[in-house]
Structure 1
Amino acid sequence: MKNEMSPVTSVYFVALIKAYLRGTKTRQEVIQDLYNTTSLLQKEEDNGKEVTQLLFKIASEINENYYQDIVTGITHASDTTPTREGMVHQLQAMLTGFITPKQLYQWATWHNNNEADTDSGSSFFDDIAVDYFCTQLLPASFEELTTAQYKQALKIFQSTHHNTLKDKVALVLLSDKEKQRFLFYLGDYIQGHTSPEQLDVYLLHKFGMDHHSFPYMSSLSAIMQEPGKLSALLNMAAMIEN
């Protein structure tokens, strides 16, 4: 079936899918692009339908060969994972009410679905903070995350210091529970109750780092036997402004 009003190629759909998967376009922005470009999209069709499935459907209605063209363009592509730019865009959209928390969740965790139509097996995250948010934090804590924590996550991703290790640490420390664990385990360490190797058990479990890679070890070493200074280190690690 051809759309004589607004002819588009499969390249258009590949670009639109990639923009959504990377996060630079929200679900609503993709839908609006489709409304503006093709007359095939009906209002009832986009109600809750997964975005990439909708794009495949519309593309196939324009030209039945587009489906395979899009699969070829997406499969094994290295630029189909959420990016920091995309994370900022999606969080801003959610916090302003342009998308819902559920739609943020659907976007951030699409790659966890082994049955996704756009399997991009060679894709990988180039930002460990974005990786942590999408693959661990949001799936595990979606029901508990508050607006204040989403705002803090946005602040972390907008940080200009470009240290993804520190950003990941700050994301882990979003919850009060993790802040208390931080104080407990690092407090034991600076008071000499545990060795670096024992501290590694906590660091590896919570941050995926050992005492060699944990970005605050030098700051921690500077306050040995001074537990009263640990709260200030926590605020720095959690990127909390006093």
Structure 2
Amino acid sequence: MKNEMSPVTSVYFVTLLKAYLRGTKTRQEVIDELRSVSPLQQKAGEESNTEVSRLLFQTASEINEHYYQDIVTAISHASDTTPTREGVIHQLEAMLTGYITTEQLIQWATWHNEPDTDDGTGFFDDIAVDYFCTQLLPASAGELAVAHYKQALRIFRSGQHNSLKDKVALVLLSEKERQRFLFYLSDYIQGHTSPEQLDVYLLHKFGMDHHSFPYMSSLSAIMHDPGKLPALLHLAAMDE
């Protein structure tokens, strides 16, 4: 074991772990950095199955036995360990270029989804990132194809800086949700349902009511003209 005069401090490991948790470093990037600090004591093939934070704690403890508690204390009091938009973009880019697997993307995005915890409300600064990590991937990862992940990346890269619209677009990734969108909004613009009845759908699918849904003005502009609804769907889904 190295002594306490090691040039690598516990702060280094805290920073590295935060970068992974926020998404700005992938699992493989963290492992590469750990290898540069100290050889990972893993059996052949074992490293790929070990949770990245465990590898980090193992390496830190080999350098200094006190680092483990230092890291735990720092992370438990930190407010900047939440997945970020920058992190989602970085992880999606890495997955789509083959640098990490889809399973590793999902493992990163859902690390905080422990049983008996809340759904992340108030935990994320960005509701689109919140939805992607706490709802979309846990519920629908098995249904998402490469095209869906590419579209998700396009949504997160959008320059409109409107997380409400980004969340709507993420919900509309699947064809099933697009058909529901057309069905419920068509009923509304044809006068078959009231705003309060529309809220049942909006709240269930988007977590918004007709006051906060970002396309209500567009919807009002096409009242009694359902033929224009597909164009609104393409706008809301951020199709190319």
Q: How many correspondences in the alignment?
A: 237
The match for 1:57 is 58
Whether the 8 Å contact between 2:21 and 2:83 is mirrored in structure 1 is yes
* C-alpha RMSD of matched pairs (Å): 2.1
Q: Find the residue that maps to 2:95 and give its secondary structure.
A: helix
The match for 2:162 is 163
Aligned counterparts of 1:123 and 1:9: Cα–Cα separation in 2: 32
The match for 1:182 is 181
Whether the 8 Å contact between 2:91 and 2:105 is mirrored in structure 1 is yes
The match for 1:135 is 134
Whether the 8 Å contact between 1:127 and 1:164 is mirrored in structure 2 is yes
Shift of residue 42 of structure 1?
4.2
Whether the 8 Å contact between 1:183 and 1:234 is mirrored in structure 2 is yes
Residues 40/187 of structure 1: CA separation in 2 closer, same or farther (3 Å cut):
closer
Counterpart mapping for 1:2-17 below 5 A: 2=2, 7-17=7-17
The match for 1:150 is 149
Residues 123/114 of structure 1: CA separation in 2 closer, same or farther (3 Å cut):
farther
| Paired residue type of 2:142 | E
Deviation per residue, 1:74-105 (Å, 9 max, x gap): 00311001000000000000001100000000
Aligned counterparts of 1:54 and 1:37: Cα–Cα separation in 2: 12
The match for 1:104 is 105
Shift of residue 7 of structure 1?
4.0
Counterpart mapping for 1:30-69 below 5 A: 30-42=30-42, 44=44, 45-69=46-70
Shift of residue 48 of structure 1?
1.1
What's the TM-score, normalizing by structure 2? Answer: 0.94
Moved over 6 A (4+): none
The match for 1:95 is 96
What's the TM-score, normalizing by structure 1? Answer: 0.93
Whether the 8 Å contact between 2:131 and 2:167 is mirrored in structure 1 is yes
Deviation per residue, 1:121-177 (Å, 9 max, x gap): 998210000000000000000111010000000000000110000000000000000
Structure 2: any 5+ residue segments left out of the alignment?
Answer: none
Aligned counterparts of 2:121 and 2:148: Cα–Cα separation in 1: 31
* 43-52 vs 192-201, which moves further: 43-52
The match for 2:20 is 20
